[in-house]
Amino acid sequence: MAYTGSTLITEIKTRAKDTSLTDSFVLSYIQETQDTVLGAHRYPQLEATLEESVSVGDSSFELPDDLQVMSSIKFNYNTETYTPQFVSPEDFERNFMNVESYSTGAPSHYTLFENEIVFNTILDKTYSLVIKYTRTPKLLTTANTPDIPQEFKWILINGALAGIEEYRQNFDIAAIYRRKVEDLAESFRLRYLTRQTMTPHKVRSSRRRG
């Protein structure tokens, strides 16, 4: 059986003994559980790579919409690779604040500001920019597959059931489901968490749900 938002919704409605619950209502609790569990650590399931061309004269590049934490960036040109160093926006402004005085060439430093990667040089040629980052958890639909693997689907099922029982004001029952989520999330962390690094990131706003 496929592992999608739809199959999870069906399972949750069955266990909640209420098929009248709307799909969007149940899905909101699945989403909340996934975002909470995956937001606690940097999991390999959320690692992503973007490769794009940047052109002569560019001095910045728009961040990916789903970026949460930056791991690294590099510029490739034929067989040459340039890896600039991240600096804070404050240090960048202090050291590279006058854009008119920028040199041209491959950047040696960069910062993140106003949803952009800002280079300390103006590009002298077209480079391939490779960005490695941790993305935000995907927005679930009935058709797509959650970022939490199927073997740990009970994290999502129990989390949604906890939310439903809290909605029903059955707080004791909800607490039982919450403890199950915590135990499973710890097993998930031990199984999948491979590394954590101190890397530049942008602050993302809370996702709104209908």
- pLDDT (tens digit per residue) in 63-73: 999 999 999 99
| Interatomic CA distance for residues 207 and 201, integer angstroms | 17
Tens digits of per-residue pLDDT, 100-150?
567 899 999 999 999 999 999 999 999 999 999 999 999 999 999 999 999
The predicted model gives 25-49 an average pLDDT of 95
Q: What pLDDT is stored for residue 101 in this prediction?
A: 63
Q: What pLDDT is stored for residue 200 in this prediction?
A: 54
From edge to edge, which strands make up the β-sheet containing 67-77?
47-54, 127-135, 67-77, 80-82
Mean pLDDT for all residues in the chain: 91
Q: What pLDDT is stored for residue 198 in this prediction?
A: 45
Extended strands (E) in 31-169: 47-54, 60-62, 67-77, 80-82, 85-86, 103-104, 109-113, 116-119, 121-122, 127-135
Q: What pLDDT is stored for residue 22 in this prediction?
A: 98
Tens digits of per-residue pLDDT, 149-179?
999 999 999 999 999 999 999 999 999 999 9
Q: What pLDDT is stored for residue 193 in this prediction?
A: 86
Q: What pLDDT is stored for residue 100 in this prediction?
A: 59
pLDDT exceeds cutoff 80 at 209: no
